[in-house]
Amino acid sequence: MKNSKEDRSQFLRIISHIRAMFYIFIDEVKNIFKDRGVVILVILAVLVYPLLYCSLYINETLVDVPVAVVDESHTPKSAEFSRHLDATRDVHVAEKMATMQEAEQVFKEGKVHGIIYIPADFDKKLNKGEQAVVSVYSDMSSFLYYRAMVLSTNYVVLDMGEEIQVARLNAIGITGEQQAMVSDPIPYESVILYNEGMGFASFLMPAILILIIHQTLFFGIGMAAGTAREENRFHELVSSSVHRGGTFRVILGKSLDFFSLYLLWSVYLLGFIPWLFNLPHIGNPFTLLEFVIPFLLASIFFSMTVSVFVPSREIQMILLLFFSLILLFLSGISWPQSSINGFCKAFSWLFPATFGIQAYFKINTMGASIHKVGFEQIGLWIQTAVYFATTLLVYHWQIKKSIVKSKKDLEE
């Protein structure tokens, strides 16, 4: 009989804990939707940002970059080189100039993004069996201009070079299989993996999508914390009236709200958006789910820990500007992780976005299984455990401060 009463008492205690947590969950949902700033960050920004960014990069690659050709040779061969160059996908011969001075002028005016210079001795050297030189002057304000010009010029040089070599071999009587072996002794086949079109969006957007989740979570939780302080007469993060007797329940109630919301947003950002804009999306949905759960938990607890030390909403917005680009650079997407120094690499491991970007890129772009991203997965679970512990500590500290101030206020 005694055990039955104890079991019933324990059951009622559990129900009471669940009710308290549910109360905090509902209260947090209300707080989010009555705060315009938080709504803009965790609803509108998440909805609009990926559409905006993907629309900007929808063409993936630069096509028909305008260039000027300076042809001082004025021969059929130099004209053929210019025609072949214009026929490539990447560049368009917008101007044909007689001198470099004229080409420099249109370049400075911004009408072209590069100059191809064909010297006067171009045809003469080819006829004598010597090497002819073609110079490429590229606008380096963007590496994409340089890439387009160099690729196009190299394709034309290789194609015309093979034609010239075949003609020379024919002239000395070398034909057939022997000719093929001499003109192309080491044939090669270019195989581009994971990003066949070499598109800029396919390379950059996976990192941007993860950053949108991480950053909107971080700043949404931070802004909600700032609002809670402003509305609390003691200017504490957690009021003694909502803790309902336990730090653990406060944290679970608050975190469950953002976790459930961003689990839905993850389907939209990491599944629907890549499909809509034809970005690489070969990852297994269950593998993505296994990755998303620790990533969201780590991001939420990281944000909740930091939010305790951010005194106002204004400072939160300053952090938004400061950290957004830094996290992209530290992620290993814009610059290889192997070339990042040890301190910066260790610093990057403090942020869930670093492991998140690497894991998502490998899963959704390269088709990796969860075992292939073991390092990132373990890193995210470690961050989840560490930041959950730090959140417990700082929230417990905040609740105690709030209780002490409430007692002093009642005594006065």
pLDDT of residue 224: 79
Q: Domain residue spans in the chain?
A: 16-57+203-411, 65-183
Task: Report the C-alpha gap between 145 and 116 in whole angstroms.
Answer: 13
Q: How far is CA 406 from the centre of its chain?
A: 45
Please state the pTM of the whole predicted model.
0.78
> What are the CA-CA distances from residue 34 to residues 27, 38, 123, 154, 226 (Å)?
11, 8, 74, 59, 14
> What are the C-alpha distances in Å from 153 to residues 123, 129, 160, 167, 332?
17, 21, 11, 21, 30
Q: How far apart are CA 237 and CA 214, in angstroms?
A: 21
- With b for 16 or more beta-carbon neighbours within 10 A and e for fewer, the 171-186 pattern comes to eeeeeeeeeeeebeee
pLDDT confidence of 234, banded at 50, 70, 90?
very low
Rounded CA separation 138/112 (Å)? 10
Q: Where are the alpha helices (DSSP H) in 232-367?
A: 247-267, 273-276, 285-307, 313-330, 342-348, 352-360
Q: Which residues contact 358 (CB under 8 A, 6 or more apart)?
A: 331, 332, 337, 373, 376
Rounded Cα–Cα distance for residues 306 and 106 (Å): 52
User: Residues near 254 by Cβ (< 8 Å), separated by ≥ 6?
Assistant: 24, 25, 28, 304
3-state secondary structure of 354: helix
pLDDT above 90 covers a percentage of the chain that reads 20
Average pLDDT (234-251) is 57
Q: Which of 254-258, 267-271, 303-307, 363-367 has the highest mean pLDDT?
A: 267-271
Q: May I ask the CATH class of domain 65-183?
A: alpha beta
Residue whose token pair is 């690729």: 151
Residue (of 153, 159, 158) closest to 134 by Cα position = 153
Strongest mean pLDDT among 107-111, 278-282, 298-302, 310-314: 298-302
- In this prediction, residue 250 carries a pLDDT of 78
Q: What is the pLDDT of residue 220?
A: 86
The per-residue pLDDT for 235 is 46
